[in-house]
Amino acid sequence: MDSAHVENDLVNVLFTEAQIQQRLQEMAQEIERDYEGEELLIVGILRGAVMVMAVSSYGSGTKSSGVVRILKDLDTDISGRHVVIVDEIIDTGLTLSWLTSNLSSRNPASVQIATLLRKPEALQMPVDVKYVGWDIPNEFVVGYGLDYREKYRNLRDIGTLAPHVYS
């Protein structure tokens, strides 16, 4: 993709790659502390969450936090397990609301949500989120795994997409 063109599609940069990595590392450490000694199952919402998970799982050392497993297959038996669902952004909350109740019905020890970004004004379903990177305004953002029609996913920073792109 032509990068000069891509720059024109962004209104402004909200978070730089360095800021994002710093925040993800803080969140990963918080999760490690909370689940110390427990076996934790991480459920990632593909595909945007892949970049978030890469850092969350490997970014902050792996001392005594127990085993972290990445669940690819939702048919895995999660009964008795501690589960953290990882997503990159919560918008309406519909996706995570559904997934949380689906997983909760399978007798896990616990289910919590971690998300890099959340748009509180866009929320349509109550979703209880334990770990949030940042709350952002109700605008469409791209980069760092976030896409608009499969574009902009590989941008290193997260920025607001110019409305002329999608209107």
Active site (catalytic) residues: 91
Q: Is 141 in the site for ligand IMP (CB under 6 A)?
A: yes
- Nearest approach, Cβ of 138 to ligand IMP (angstroms)? 9
Number of residues that bind ligand IMP (CB under 6 A): 15
Q: Given the rule CB under 6 A, which of 13-21, 36-44, 56-64, 140-148 is the region that contacts ligand IMP?
A: 140-148
Q: Is 94 in the site for ligand IMP (CB under 6 A)?
A: yes
- Nearest approach, Cβ of 28 to ligand IMP (angstroms)? 19
Q: Is 103 in the site for ligand IMP (CB under 6 A)?
A: no
Q: Is 92 in the site for ligand IMP (CB under 6 A)?
A: yes
Residue closer to ligand IMP, measured from CB, 40 or 45: 45
CB distance 43 to 10 below 8 Å: no
Strand ranges (E), 45-167 = 68-71, 82-90, 110-118, 131-135, 141-142, 158-161
| CA torsion through residues 57, 60, 63, 64, sign | negative
First vs last C-alpha separation in the chain: 20
CB distance 89 to 146 below 8 Å: yes
Among 21, 25, 95, 110, binds ligand IMP (CB under 6 A): 95
Which residues, 6+ apart, have CB-to-CB distance to 48 below 8 Å?
87, 88, 89, 145, 146, 147, 153
Q: Which residues here bind ligand IMP, judged by CB under 6 A?
A: 45, 48, 87-95, 140-142, 146
